[in-house]
Structure 1
């Protein structure tokens, strides 16, 4: 019987030094560009985590950046002193703070190490056509709060085998025994009458 094979190993977590360096670089890009390149940080978070929420945040930050640019483009002064220019600058800076904060939150959450000594429990194997039996090692694996919860697939209960009728040979023997007992009863009764009714 062919199985599913081995699951691919989870991607290795980069070292802490590399993670800190990357975080510093992406935060510095957002801050030193005064928010004009703040979209780079959520883009990295979306690529690394591959979660839909991170992609939505990245799209939202780009939309806010477009609104900010449109307000700044209508300001003809050098210091953005008109109300539209000031609003565009405020939106740009708030977007920068939001992008940096969300990037750090998403990246730290994604690269959070599992508690030491705990292994991630393997996904349950799917047995086709047979009810699943509990693993003898299941009780020895500690439950980790960081591991994703896997909902086991309920096994389909197998109905008990249908009650089969007795084989024809047994029925035949039973019928012959019934006939024999009837014959013996008749012959005992017949002999009894012949001997004067014992």
Structure 2
């Protein structure tokens, strides 16, 4: 018999204070270098998330920084007074701004998903198929027991994002109350 195999255990995410400190340090590196080190934020994000899209953005940010350095280096004299110099400065600061916003949003989103997957695993629920899945985790079934006879699932209305455990308990209670109402109405009709 072949099965799905075992899911990789989800690592516990770092403490929030550590994450905030790391984010501040990496953003400060980009800001205090006047944008020349903006690529460092993307490097950290690419290493942490290990997504090909993040590595592609790292290359794009590094190329934009390199192009701005070349444009500023070809500027004659100490002052910027040509179109190439202005383009270099605009590219440098624009890259810094966009990279900082994207880095903070993607880093927060990554660790929020990791925290939700860890909470689901800790409370005895199977983690989502991937760290980017948005479905609610289901209860893990023992491998050698037949599945219980259940009522067909009712599509749940969209819910606001919240703690995974609370939403899971709420969904299970709603399902149980629907089942009990149906069960009671069948018994009342049979008498």
Query: Normalising by the residue count of structure 1, what TM-score does the alignment of the two structures yield?
Result: 0.58
Shift in Å, 1:60: 0.6
Residue 126 (structure 2) aligned to one of 121, 125, 129: 121
- Alpha carbons of structure 1 residues 72 and 134: separation in structure 2 relative to 1, 3 Å: farther
Does the CA contact (< 8 Å) of 2:12 and 2:118 recur in 1?
no
**Alignment root-mean-square deviation, CA:** 3.7
Q: For residues 18-39 of structure 1, what are the alpha-carbon distances to aligned partners after superposition, in whole Å with 9 as ceiling and x for unaligned?
A: 0000000011000000000000
**Distance in 1, Cα, partners of 2:63 & 2:10:** 34
* Residues 6 and 121 of structure 1, relative CA distance in 2, 3 Å threshold: closer
The Cα of 1:65 is off from its aligned counterpart by 1.2
Instruction: Report the TM-score when normalising by structure 2.
Output: 0.60
Cα distance change on mapping 1:70 and 1:134 into 2, 3 Å = farther
Greater shift in the superposed pair: 23-32 or 115-124:
115-124
**Alpha-carbon shift at residue 42 of structure 1 (Å):** 0.6
Following TM superposition, by how much is the alpha carbon of 1:121 offset from its aligned partner in structure 2, in angstroms? Answer: 2.1
Match of 1:22 in 2: 22
Q: Deviations over 1:123-171 (max 9, x none)?
A: 689x9xxxx98644x99xxx99799xxxxxxxxxxxxxxxxxxxxxxxx
Q: Measured at CA, do residues 133 and 99 of structure 1 come closer, stay the same or move farther in structure 2, by a change above 3 Å?
A: same
Partner of 1:151: none
The structure-2 alpha-carbon separation of the partners of 1:22 and 1:46, relative to structure 1 and needing over 3 Å to count, comes to: same
State the number of aligned residues. Answer: 139
Q: Structure 2 stretches of 5 or more lacking a match?
A: 130-139, 165-191
Q: Is the 8 A contact 2:75 2:85 kept in 1?
A: yes
Residue ranges of structure 1 left out of the alignment (5+ in a row): 148-198
Superposition pairs of residues 141-152 of structure 1, within 5 angstroms:
none
In the alignment, the residues of structure 2 paired with residue 38 and residue 20 of structure 1 have an alpha-carbon distance, to the nearest angstrom, of: 18
Shift of 1:63: 1.2
Tell which structure's C-alpha radius of gyration is larger. 1
Please state whether the residue corresponding to 1:39 is helix, strand or coil: helix
CA-CA distance at 1:2 after TM superposition: 9.9
Partner of 1:64: 64
- 1:65-99 Cα distance to aligned partner (Å, 9 max, x none): 12111111110221322221111011000011111
